[in-house]
Amino acid sequence: MEEIRLKARAKINLTLDVTGKRDNGYHELQMIMQTVGLYDEIVLRKIPENEIRLESNVSWLPADNRNLAWRAAELMRSTYDIKEGVLIQIDKRIPVAAGLAGGSADCAAVLVGMNKLFSLKLPAKKLEELALTMGTDIPYCVRRGTVLAEGVGEVLTNIEPPCPFCYVVLAKLPVSVSTAKVYQSLKWDQVEHHPDTKGMLAAMAEGDVPAMGRLLGNVLETVTIPMYPKIADIKESMLENGAEGALMSGSGPTVFGLFTKQERAKEAAKILRKQFAMRDVFVTQIYHVPHGKKERRTTDGRHKI
């Protein structure tokens, strides 16, 4: 194998709760994470030069060790004594600094891709262990799907049955949010309303998307919404235009809405683009990891089910 293509998929947080803080400054988390159809396309290609090269359709994206994808390739090369070089090409579609784990997803895709490209035959558990050395949400991006994440985000439990299928509208304000700064500003012990994680799990088990919409919750909204009040306005607009529920994903600023009807989702996205003059508005869907089956391309050629 000389080349491999992968899809680094975005994630949303159906619930995000902070339950404590460790002595090292890391927060104790409990969150339900879900992969969606929006993705960056990653191409890994062997090259004769003993180096890592990174190219992207985004001119300002770092192409050296400041980039998690580059560092993932270097980690695999140094850990497993890979002598050949590799070219990483990233077609960036997930907005940056958006609470959608785009950079982490790219990193995870490179770990998975290097494993396949160089026939290392590492089990998924080992890839998740390597991912954890690079960031606490990267192991999830290796696993994907519907997952309960605990600890600092590294204790992962697959949820069965997974999240029921529905359409997802993503809307990102044209600002970038620092996850580190949001957590530093969070007064976790003063949060009054915590997500009902057990209730969300029960709603998913019933396949009840409207109930899921009512149970969406993210304690980081207490930090990011005061910084960017339009996040609350976007949530309200989604609800007014047919969303079963709306929530900020991760540390923000992206808001997602859950929809049971595709046409309603498309109409809501159209309204959001006009109402808030936003470019980064996407209609996608819940994504489930296929088991032994090839992914099926949808009519837009961009998202997969």
Residues 73-91 as b/e (b if ≥16 CB within 10 A, e otherwise) read bbbbbeeeebeebbbbbbb
State the Cα–Cα distance between residues 73 and 96, nearest whole angstrom: 20
**Is 243 known to sit in a ligand binding site?**
no
How far lies 155's CA from each of 105, 110, 133, 136, 137, in Å? Answer: 17, 21, 14, 9, 10
**Is 142 known to sit in a ligand binding site?**
no
How far lies 223's CA from each of 13, 185, 259, 285, 298, in Å? Answer: 16, 7, 26, 27, 37
Query: ∠ CA 275-260-294 to the nearest 5 degrees?
Result: 110
Known catalytic membership, residue 121 = no
**Is 135 known to sit in a ligand binding site?**
no
**Is 95 known to sit in a ligand binding site?**
yes
**Is 97 known to sit in a ligand binding site?**
yes
**Is 205 known to sit in a ligand binding site?**
no
**Is 213 known to sit in a ligand binding site?**
no
**Is 101 known to sit in a ligand binding site?**
yes
Catalytic residue among 17, 40, 137, 280: 137
**Is 211 known to sit in a ligand binding site?**
no
**Is 186 known to sit in a ligand binding site?**
no
**Is 290 known to sit in a ligand binding site?**
no
Known catalytic membership, residue 11 = yes
Residue 91 near residue 41 (C-beta atoms within 8 A): yes
Q: Where are the alpha helices (DSSP H) in the chain?
A: 68-79, 102-117, 124-132, 138-143, 179-185, 197-206, 209-215, 221-227, 230-240, 262-276
State the Cα–Cα distance between residues 181 and 229, nearest whole angstrom: 17
Catalytic residue among 7, 11, 172, 235: 11
Q: Which residues are annotated as a binding site for ATP?
A: 95-105
Q: Which residues are catalytic?
A: 11, 137
Q: Which residues are annotated as a binding site?
A: 95-105
